[in-house]
Structure 1
Amino acid sequence: MLHQRAPAVERLGLRAFTTGAEVLHGVAWLGTATVFPQPVGLGATWDPDLLTRVADVVGIELRAKHAADPIVSLNVWAPVVNPLRHPAWGRNEEGYSEDPYLTAELGTAYARGLRGDHPVYWRTVPTLKHAFGYNNETDRGVTSSQLRPRVLHEYELPAFVGPLQAGAAGAVMAAYNLVNGRPNHLSGELLDLLRDVTPQPLLVVSDAAAPGFVVTLQRFYDDHVESHAAMLRAGVDSFTDNDADSAPTIERVTAALERGLLDEADIDLAVQRQLEVRIRTGELDPDRDPFVVGPDAIDLPAHRALAREAVARSVVVLENDGTLPVREGARVAVVGPHADRVLHDWYSGTPPYLVGLGTALRERLGDEAVTVADGSDRVVLRSVRTGRAVRCGGPTHVLTADGAGPGTATGPDEQHDLTHWGDGLWSVAVAGTGLLWTGARWVLHADATRVGGWVAQETFRRTPHDDGTWSLQHAGSGKWLRVQHDEAGTLVADAETPEAADRFTAEVVRTGADAVRDACRDADVVVVAVGNDPHLGGRETADRPTLTLPESMLDLWRVAGEGAGSARRVLLVVSSYPYVLPDDLGADAVVWTSHGGQELGHGVTDVLVGDEEPRGRLAQAWPAAVEHVGDLFDYDVIAAGHTTWYARHAPRYALGHGLTYGDVAYATAHLALPGGSSTDAATVTPQSRVGVVVRLHNAGSRAAHELVQVYADAPEHRLPFGHRLVGHRRVEVGAGETLDVTVEVPAARLATWDVTRSRLVVEPGRYVLGVGPSASTVAHQLVVEVDAEPVPPRALVGHEVHAADADVLTDVELAARTRTVGTAVQIARGREEGCVELWTTSVRGARELRAVLARTRPGPAWLELAVPEDGGTWRTVAAAAVPEDGDRWTWSTVTVPLDLAAGDLPDVADVRLRLVGAVRVATVELR
C-alpha cells in the first residue's frame, strides 16, 4: 500500500488504487477532456469564483474518467502553489502568482472546486505541489533552496497553509530539491508545519522517482533501506518510484522493519492516511457518494462555454492608445507564429477541438476582413549529395529524398514551413498537410500535430555552412540528419557528427517576411502574435535560457510595421511567462494571454473586438530589464530583492497591472471606522480588520471591470518589510458611474516572523496603505498606526539560540544539522568566512560562550563572537575553535571565556557571529 500502485485487497472490499491524476488545468493524459488556460493565465483573472467553477468542471470530468476506469485516481495532483518567485523558472506556467497570499487564495479556490462542497465526501482529494522552495529546474534534484526563517514563514509557507487551513486540500507532494541542506522528502519538521494547520489528516506523496534520488543523486543516505525508513518517519506516506513496479519499495521497507529502523506503527500511520483519503472519496460508501457521474460527462456545452469565458477573463491589456477594441468594419491582419496556432503544454489534456485566433477573428469579422500569415519560411530542402528534394511520401508520412531533381517544380509534399522558436530551435511542417517532422522513431516522419513529449521530438537545429548549405540536427536525440543509401533515400536521424550528416540546400519558395508584408498591406489593424511553445524555451526539466523574445519574432514585428503603413499595430504575446520587451517597441497596444487551451482564439477575440471587457490583471510583474531579475538560485527574496515585495527596480508592468476599456479614476480614499466615521489615519490592533473605502468614477462610455488593490509599506519598520499586497476587490463600474468600494485589510497581513520567539508578529508602528490599480500606481495613501507590544530583546544569556534564527546572514548558508532534524549555519561555498547577526540581544552579565560546533572538512575552523563599539566597529570577545576530529554530523559543545578586558558587555547589544574556515554552527549561548 505504500507504493503509488496499491493492489486490491479483496477480503476488505478494497480495489486496486493509484495515487495521482494530473488535473492542472483540465484532466491530462487520460484522453479527451476540456482544456482551460494554464494556471498562470487563470491567476491573471484574480477571480476565485471563476477558478472554483473551472475546477468544478475538471473534477466532474475526472470523475467521468474514473467511472470509465476505476483505476483512475481520485487523489489528484493539483494545484501548484509554489509562488512565482523568478520568471526564469521553467515551470512558471504551472503557478498562479508571485504573491504568496494571492497564490493561496487562488489555489484554495481551485482546490475547493476539485474537492466539492459536500461536508463529508470529496469529489477528489487535491494535492498541493511542490513542498518546499521549488522554483528551479536546473539540477532540481540536487540544489538546496535557502529558506531562512523569515522567508520560509512570510513568503513560502502562506501559499500552502491557505488551502490547507480552509480544508480544501487533503494532500501535499514533496518537491525534488533540498531545503537548507536536507531533501524535502526527509524534512519532517517542514511537513509537520503543514500537518499542524490542517483540519483533517494530511497525505504526503513523493514526487516521481524522488525516493531513489535521496541515495543516487543527493547522496544523503548510503542505502535505500535507511532512506526509505527515514522518509516514512519524516511523514511521507506514498512512494512514487520505479514506475509501476512496487517491488523495490516493498523490499526496502521490509528490510527496514527487519533492521529495526521502522516500527509497524510507522507503516500503519502511512497506510491509515491513504485509506482516509479513499474513504473521503466514497470508495467504501458508493451508495452515499454524491459525486458519481457517468463516463460521458466530458466536453459538455457548459464546459466549452466556461473554457471560453476563462480565456477572456485571463487576457491582460498591457498597453493601449485607443487602438483596442477593434472597431467594427476594420480590416485585420493576424501574423506571427501564434496567428492561428493553439499549443499544448506538458500537463495539457487532449482537447476535443482547437480554435486559433485567426479562425476566431474570421468567424467574428468575416473571412474577407481578416488575413493570416504565420511568418514561417517556405522552402524546398534538397540533399547536396543526391540532388533530390526531401519530400513527405506515403500514408505513414515517412520522409524520403525521392522528390523532383534540381530545377524542376515541386509540390506541397516537397515544400516545408520552418518556424523559429528561439534558442536555435526550429519546427518543420509539411506545407501540404501542416504536419510536423518528428525524429522520435529514428526514421523521420511527418505525422505530428504538435511539439510534445517528455523530450520534445519535433524540433531541429540548423548549422549553416560557408557555401550556404545546412546541416540539420534532431534536437531531441542530438543526432544529425542524413539520407540513407537505399532506393527510396530515407531520411534518418542517426549521424553522430555534423561531418557525417548530409548537407541540404534551401530553395526559398516564399519568405515569412514577404508573407507578413503581404498580409499587412491593406490592414487597418495588425496583430502580431508571438510567444513561446510550452514544450520549448522553459518547461518542466528546463529553465528558460533567456527572458527576451527571440530575435526572429522581433524581426516579424518590425516587418509587420513595414508592411502595415498607417495601420495600428498590436503586439499579442501568447506565453507561459513574462518577457523583457524592447524599450523601443513602438506598439499601439500590447496584450498578453497564457496558452489558453481549446478556446484560446474565441476568448482572445472576445476581448480584442470588445465583446468582453478586459478583466485580466498581471499576477506576476514583467521586469524592465534582464539584469533586474537576479539569480535564479537565490531564494532569499528579502536579501536578493526578488518579487514585488522587495524589488529594487521598477518593473515594466507591475503586479496587478492591466487596462480596461473604460476610464476609471480613483477619486478619494479613506479608512472606515466603527460607527460610520472616516479618516485618512487610524490606530488599530493586530486583530483589527481595516476597511479601506475608495471612490471610483468611470468617465468612459463603457462599463469597466476594475481591480482595486491595497499595498502596505512600513518605512520605519525595524526589519526590511517590503511592498506587500494586503487586499483587493474586483468591481464593475458602469459608464459614467461613481461607486464606493470597500476593501477589507486584515491587520494580520502586516505580520513579520519574529526569529527570537518563532512566531508571526504584527509589530507596533506606522504602516502606509497605498490604494490604486497596480503595485506601482498608487492613487492615495492612508496611514494606520498599530498599537501592539514591541518585540523584546532576544535572550541569549542562559538561553540556547539557533544560529539559523539570525536577523542577518552574510556569506553563509543553512544546512541540515542532522540527517533528520535541525538546521545549522556554515560558510557558503566559494567563501572563506561569513557572519550572522543577532539583533537587540540581551547579554548582560555574560562571562563565557557556549557553542555547538562541527566542521565541514579538515582544516582550520573557528567561531568568533563580537559586539559593536562606537564608530561602527566590532569588538571580538570570544573565539571558539572546532575540534579536529569528526565530520559534519559530529557535533561538539565548546565553551570558552569571554574577553572582557575592554569592559563588560552592555545590557542589550547586537551580536555578530563570525564563521572562519570549515566551521558549522548549530547553537550559541552566553553564560
Structure 2
Amino acid sequence: MTASPPPTPPFRDPRLPFAKRVDDLLSRLTRDEKVSFLHQFAPAVERLGVAAFRTGQEALHGVAWMGPATVFPQAVGLGATWNPELVRRVGEAVSREVRAMRARDERVGLNVWSPTVNLLRHPLWGRNEEGYSEDPLLTSAIATAYTRGLRGDHPVYWRTAPVLKHWLAHNNETGRDVTSSSVRPRVLHEYDLRAFRATVEAGAVAGVMPAYNLVNGRPNHVSPHLREHLRTWTDQELLVCSDAGAPSNLVDSEHYFDTHEEATAAALVAGVDSFTDHGTDGSPIAARVRGALERGLLSEADVDTAVRRQLSVRFRLGEFDPDDDPHAHSGAFDTPEHRELAREAAEQAVVLLRNDGVLPLAPDTRLAVVGLLADECKLDWYSGTLIHRSTPLEALYERFGAERVRFAEGVDRVRLRTSAGTFLHVPPAPEAPDPARGAQGALDPALLAGRTDLPPLTTDAVGTEFALVDWGDGVLTLRAPDGRYLAVAEDGYVRASADQPGGWVVQETFRLERRGEHGTGHLLRHLGTGRPVSVAADGVKVAARTAETTEPAETAEMPVTAGTAGTAETAEVFEVVVAEHGTDAVRRAAADADVVLVVAGNDPHIRGRETEDRTTLRLPTHQERLLEAARAANPRTVLVLVSAYPYAFAPGRLAAALWTAHGGQAAGTALARVLAGDVAPAGRLPQTWYADDADLPDLLDYDVIGGRQTYRYFEGTPLFPFGHGLSYVPFGYADLVTAVADGALHVFFTLTNAGDTTADEVAQLYTRAVEPSVPRPRRELLAHRRVTLAPGETRRLEFAVPLRAFAFWDVARGDWRLEPGRYDVLVGASSEDVRLRATVTLDGEPAAPRPVLRRGLSAADFDEHGGAALVDRTKAAGDAVTPASGGTAELLYRACDFVTGVRTVRLELAGGAGTVELSAGGARATVESPGTPGPYDYTTVEAPLPVAGGTHDLRVTLRGPLRLAHVGFSG
C-alpha cells in the first residue's frame, strides 16, 4: 500500500484565520525555538519548514544599504511637499523595489524600519533629515501616506511591514543613550504621542521601534506607554523592534538594571518583541532570556506573547502562503515610472524662500554656478546606492547650454609641505578593476574608505594639489584631482580612496591644528581615529598612540594594525601652501554673469548626522565667505540651499533664495527645472526657520509649551515661518464660510490661480483659541491640501475638521477636553501668511476644579512649572517630579477644590534630602524630606496645612535632590 501523505498542519492552511494559524505554529515550537525567535535574526526551524526571518530593512527614502536602488528625496524633503498622495506613491515604489530586491537577494528584509515619525522640534538635531515636520498633524499625514504605500492595498497580505521610528520624544544625538527627555502630560499627549497615534490608527503600521533615550528617567525600551497607549490604538498585533544595541544599553551605559537578565525581562514584559543586539549573533539574547526564565523574571507566556506578534507580521507578509501572496511577483526595480516619480518628488520638495523677480531665469541668462554643492549629488546614511545621478551643475548645463554656464566650486586649492620640504603626493592608482563598484557601476559604500588595494600617500618634491573643503568648525575634507577623498583604512594608511565621505565612523574628515601661537605649521589630525597624520618611509599614515594622540571620546576607536601600532613615528607638522583661494574663483565667475547661483549646504555625513548634533544654525564660515564674495561681485545673487536642516542667513541681501533637502537621484534636474520656470515651486517649509541661535531652546528642553517652541508657541520673529513657500504664480483666496455640523467644523473657501501658468498651491487651515484658560498654541495646523490649478481656474475647497481636534489635554481630569469659547479660523499660504479669517464659537465642557480630596494630586499633573524635571516613579510605571540638576522647582496646580477645607497634607517622597514648601488659600507649610535609601523607596511625610474650604491654586516649591510623586490631603 502507498502511504498517505502527512496531513497539512493548520498553520499551513490558508483557509483559516491568521490568529488560529499563529496559535498552531506557536504550539509546535519548542521553548528554545521560541526564545531564538526573539533576536533580530530569527533562525530557521527546519523540522517545520519555517524559514529564517530578519526584522529590519532600512527604507527611509528608498531601499538602503543593499546596493543600487531608486533614491528619493530625504524624508524632510518629502515632508516639504505637503503632499500625502505623492508620498504614498513613493512608499509604494519603495515597497516594490524591496520585493524585487528580495527576489534576488534573501538578505533584503520585508519588515521595513520606516518611516521616522520623530517630530522636528529642534533644528540642530543631527537626524533632522529623517523626520517629516515639527507639527504632529503634518507628520502623521505624511507618515500615514508612506506606510500605506509600503503596506500595499491588498485587504489581507502586506507588500512590506512598516515599523515606525523612534518611540518616543527623541531629538538629540548628544548623549542619546543616557539623556532623559522630560515630557509632561500635556506635551506627551498633545505633541509626542499624537504623531504616532494617527498613523497607527490608520491601520498600515506593523510596529514601532523604541528610541535610545530615556523619557522621564525611564528608558524607552521599558516604557509603559507601549502598553498604556500604543497597543490600545489598534486591534492588530504590533511588533516592537528594539533599536540596535539598546537592550545592552539598559545595563552597560544607562545602568538602569544590574544584570542583562533583568533588563531583557523588563523590556520583554514592557512590550519589546524583537531584540536588535550583537549583530547577527542571537546567542547572547537567547542566553539572557533563558536566564530570566530560570530566575522567574519571565514566564513562557511572556515569550509566547512576543513570538505571536512576530509571527503575526510574518503571516501578513504572505510567508506561509506563497501561492496566495499577491505581492510575490509584484516587485519592480528602477523602472521609468520610479525614475519619473523621483524627479516629481524632488521638484515638489523645492521651497522658494525669497524672490525679488530674478526667478524664474530667462532662457538666455548667463549663469555663474558656484559653491560646494553645485556639482554634487549627496547621499545620507539611509540612502541606497545611486543608479542615476544628477547635480545642479549638470542639469543647468543641459537646460541652458554649457556655453552659458560658468562654474567655480569655490574650494581652496592647497598643497601640504612637510617639515623636510617635500609635499604630500597621491601616487597613481593601478588600472585594475575597482572593487568598490558592482556590476552596474554603482559604488558599494562599505568598500570605499576601507580599501587597502590602493597605494598610500607618499611625498615628493612637487606634491599633489588638493581641494580643501571646510565644512565648518574646522572640519575638513581633502580631495585629490581624480575626485577621490583622502581616507584612512583599518591598516592606518592615508589613501585617496573614497568616492564620498561616509560610513558609521567617517574616515574622510580631518582638522588642521596650528602649532604655536604665531606659527605657520599645522598638525593634520584625522578625526575618525583622533590621531594626527605622520610621514614614514612606507607611506603616509596616522600616527601611533601617544599622550598627545589619545582617542576622542565622541568617536569609536578604529583598529590600527600593521604599519602604526607599536611604531615610533611622530606627528608631521605641515605648512599649508595655498595655490588658489575659493573666493577668488567665485569672484571671477560671478563678475560677468547675469545671475549668480550659490549652491550651499551640508554633506549629510559631516557635522550633523546620526550620532552628532549641530552646534549652530549658521552656514559654515567658508560658505558664508563664498556667498559674500558672490554677492559683492554681483548683486543678482541667488542662494540655493541644499541641506538636511534649516540654516540662518540674511535673505534681505539676496536677490532670491531657495531650499531643498538632498533630493536623491533627481536632485539636480529638479532644481534646474524650478529655476528655469519649467515647474512653479510649491514646496512649503515643514519646520520653523529661526533667525538666530539665540531663538533656540536648549537641545534637551522637550517642554514645547513651557519653552515656547516650534511655530505653535514661538513668540519671536522667525527667519521663515512654518508652512512658508513662495510661487511664481499668484493665488487668490476668497469667500470663507464656516459651519459646525455633525461633530465637525466645516470650512469652505475658494482658491484661484491668478497667473498664466499651471501651478500648485498649498492651502493651509489653522486655529487659535481666543481666550484660553491654559497656554494654547498661537497657531495650530488643522488641515492642508496641495492643489493644482490651471491659469484662471477657481476651485471651491472644503475642510471638515472633527471638533475633537480643538481639544487639549486637561491635566486636572487626565483626559482630553474641548474648552467652550471662541476660536479663530485662519486660512492662508503659511502659518503667518493668513489670507482669510473668521471666528467660531464652539460648545464644550467647562473646566471643573480638581477633586484633590478624593484622589489627591499626581505630582506630574502640574499646570505650570519652573525648573522641574520629570523622572520615573518606579522602574515599571509612573512619573515623579524633581528639581532639574538638584536645584529648585516651582509647581503650580490651578483650581484645586478643597471642599469644606483640609488640615493636613501628605507627600510621597523619595530620593535625597530636601524641603517642600506648599501654599494654598493663604495657608503655608514647609516639609522636610528626610531622604530615602534609593530613588524608588518612597516614604509618606505629613504636615499641617490648614486650607479653608473652596477652590484655590496650590503652589509647591521643591528644593534639593528629592522626588515628589503624590500630594494628598485630609480634613
Partner Cα distance (1:204, 1:553) in 2: 43
Structure 1 residues 736 and 247, CA, compared in 2 at 3 Å: closer, same or farther?
same
* 1:133–1:635 CA contact under 8 A, matched in 2: yes
**Cα pair 1:173 1:205 within 8 Å, conserved:** yes
Corresponding residue SS for 2:963: strand
Q: 1:190 to 1:8 in 2, by over 3 A?
A: closer
Q: Counterpart of 2:487? A: 438
Other-structure match for 1:794: 850
Alpha-carbon separation, structure 2, partners of 1:265 and 1:434: 58
- Checking the alignment, whether the CA contact within 8 Å between 2:679 and 2:759 is kept in structure 1 is no
1:484 Cα deviation from its structure 2 partner: 0.4
Task: Give me the TM-score of the superposition, normalised by structure 1.
Answer: 0.93
C-alpha separation in 2, matches of 1:519 and 1:325? 21
Matching residue's letter, 2:473: D
Q: Which amino acid aligns with 1:462?
A: L
One-letter code of the match for 2:968?
Answer: E
Partner of 1:404: 461
What does residue 320 of structure 2 align with? Answer: 284
1:452 counterpart residue number:
502
CA distance in 2, matches of 1:191, 1:437: 49
Distance 2:144 2:963 in 1: 40
Counterparts in 2 of 1:464-613, with a 5 A limit?
464-465=514-515, 466-486=518-538, 489-494=539-544, 496=546, 497=548, 500-564=570-634, 568-582=636-650, 586-613=653-680
SS of residue in 2 equivalent to 1:639:
coil
- Would the aligned equivalents of 2:631 and 2:654 in 1 still touch at CA under 8 Å? no
Q: Distance in 2 between matches of 1:893 and 1:341?
A: 64
Go from structure 1 to structure 2 and tell me whether the alpha carbon gap of 1:126 and 1:884 turns closer, same or farther (over 3 Å shift): closer
> Is 1:887 matched with 2:931?
no
SS at 2:948's partner residue?
coil
For residue 829 of structure 1, give the secondary structure of its aligned residue in structure 2: helix
Point out 4+ residue stretches in structure 1 off by more than 6 angstroms.
Answer: none
Note closer, same or farther for the CA distance 1:794–1:389 as it changes in structure 2 (3 Å cut).
Answer: closer
The Cα of 1:402 is off from its aligned counterpart by 4.1
2:96/2:330 contact within 8 Å kept: no
Is 1:913 matched with 2:956? yes
How far 1:885 sits from its partner (Å)?
A: 4.7
- Determine the structure 2 residue equivalent to 1:15: 51
Instruction: Pick which of 810-819 and 907-916 moved more.
Output: 907-916
Could you tell me which runs of 5 or more consecutive residues in structure 1 were left unpaired when the two chains were aligned. 674-683, 870-874
Greater Cα offset, 732-741 or 621-630: 732-741
Q: Secondary structure at the match of 1:637?
A: coil
Shift of 1:552: 0.7
When the two structures are aligned, how many residues end up with a matched partner? Answer: 888
Cα contact 2:911–2:933 (8 A) shared by 1: no
1:631 aligns with 2:710: no
Contact 1:850 1:893 in 2 (8 A): no
Counterpart for residue 882 of structure 2:
826
Contact 2:901 2:950 in 1 (8 A): no
Return the alpha-carbon distance in structure 1 between the equivalents of residues 773 and 622 of structure 2. Answer: 49
How far is the alpha carbon of 1:799 from its aligned partner?
Answer: 1.7
The question of whether the paired residues in 2 share the 8 Å contact of 1:165 and 1:199 is answered with no
1:619 lines up with 2:679 in the alignment: no
Structure 2: how far apart are the matches of 1:892 and 1:379?
Answer: 68
8 Å contact 1:167–1:198 — kept in the other structure?
yes
Q: Does 1:370 align with 2:370?
A: no
Residue by residue over 1:619-667, the C-alpha shift from the partner in whole angstroms, topping out at 9 and shown as x without a partner, is 1110012111111110000000100111021211111100111122334
The offset of 1:756, in angstroms, is: 2.1
**Contact map agreement 1:137 1:540 (CA 8 A) in 2:** yes
Q: Pick from 127, 133, 136: which aligns with 2:169?
A: 133
User: What amino acid maps onto 1:529 in structure 2?
Assistant: V
| Cα deviation 1:508-562 (Å, max 9, x = unaligned) | 3333222222322332121100001101121110100211001110111121124
Q: Which structure 2 residues correspond to residues 105-184 of structure 1 after superposition, within 5 A?
A: 105-184=141-220
In structure 1, C-alpha distance between the alignment counterparts of 2:129 and 2:717, rounded to whole Å: 23
Question: Shift in Å at residue 699 of structure 1?
Answer: 3.2
The alpha-carbon distance between structure 1 residues 836 and 428, as it changes in their structure 2 partners (threshold 3 A), is: same
Return the match for 2:263 from 221, 227, 230.
227
Which whole-Å deviations, capped at 9, do the CAs of 1:62-101 have from their partners, x for residues lacking one?
1122212334221110000011001010100000000011
Quick check: 1:59 aligned with 2:102?
Answer: no
Three-state SS of the structure 2 residue aligned to 1:608 is: helix
Q: How big is the shift at 1:702? A: 2.4
2:374 aligned with 1:319: no
Alignment check: 8 A CA contact 1:17 1:71 kept = no
TM-score normalised over the length of structure 2: 0.89
Map 1:254-333; keep pairs closer than 5 Å. 254-293=290-329, 297-333=332-368
Q: Residues of 2 paired with 1:552 and 1:868: CA distance?
A: 60
Letter of the 1:905 counterpart: A
Residue of 714, 721, 733 corresponding to 2:789: 733
User: How many Å separate the matches in 2 of 1:379 and 1:894?
Assistant: 71
Pairwise CA distance, 1:362: 0.9
What does residue 776 of structure 2 align with? 721
Confirm or deny: 8 A CA contact 2:81 2:349 kept in the other structure. Answer: yes
8 Å contact kept, 2:262–2:297: yes
What are the superposed Cα offsets for residues 232-259 of structure 1, whole Å, 9 maximum, x if unpaired?
1111111111112211111111111111
Cα distance change, pair 378–217 in 1 and its aligned pair in 2 (3 A): same
CA displacement 1:326-360 (0-9 Å, x = unmatched): 11111112100011101111111111121111001
Which runs of structure 2 are paired with 1:31-46 in the superposition (5 Å)?
31-46=67-82
Judge conservation of contact 1:854–1:889 (CA < 8 Å) in 2.
Answer: no
| Contact 1:391-1:403 within 8 A present in 2 as well | no
Aligned equivalents of 2:818 and 2:719: distance in 1? Answer: 32
8 A Cα contact 2:83 2:785, kept in partner:
no
Which residue number in structure 1 is paired with residue 901 of structure 2? 846
Tell me how far 1:668 sits from its aligned partner.
4.1
Q: Report % sequence identity.
A: 46
What is the distance in 2 between the residues matched to 1:250 and 1:438? 39
Contact 1:573 1:592 in 2 (8 A): yes
Amino acid at match of 2:489: A
Distance 1:697 1:264 in 2: 64
Change (3 A) 1:786 1:820: same
Deviation at 1:490, TM superposition (A): 3.8
Aligned to 1:656: 723
Contact persistence 2:886–2:959 (CA under 8 A): no
Q: RMSD of the alignment, in Å?
A: 1.9
For residues 708 and 519 of structure 1, what CA distance do their matches in structure 2 show? 40
Structure 1 residues 385 and 640: CA distance shift in structure 2, 3 A: same
CA offsets 1:292-330 (integer angstroms, 9 cap, x no match):
2377x3212211111111100000000011111111111
**Alignment check: 8 A CA contact 2:226 2:270 kept:** no
Match of 1:73 among 88, 95, 109: 109
- Name the residue aligned to 2:745: 690
Q: Which residue of 833, 836, 856 corresponds with 2:891?
A: 836
Q: Secondary structure at the match of 2:221?
A: helix
Counterparts of 1:731 and 1:838 in 2: how far apart (Å)?
46
8 Å CA contact retained: 1:164, 1:199: no
Shift of 1:369: 1.4
- Equivalent residues of 1:855, 1:918 under 8 A apart: no
CA separation of 1:353 and 1:750: change in aligned 2, threshold 3 A: same
CA distance in 2, matches of 1:80, 1:422: 27
The CA distance in 1 between the partners of 2:340 and 2:173, in whole Å, is 35
Is 1:419 aligned to 2:469, yes or no? yes
Q: Find the aligned partners of 2:285 and 2:190 in 1 and give their Cα distance.
A: 36
Aligned partner letter, 1:580: A
Counterpart of 1:813 in structure 2 is 869
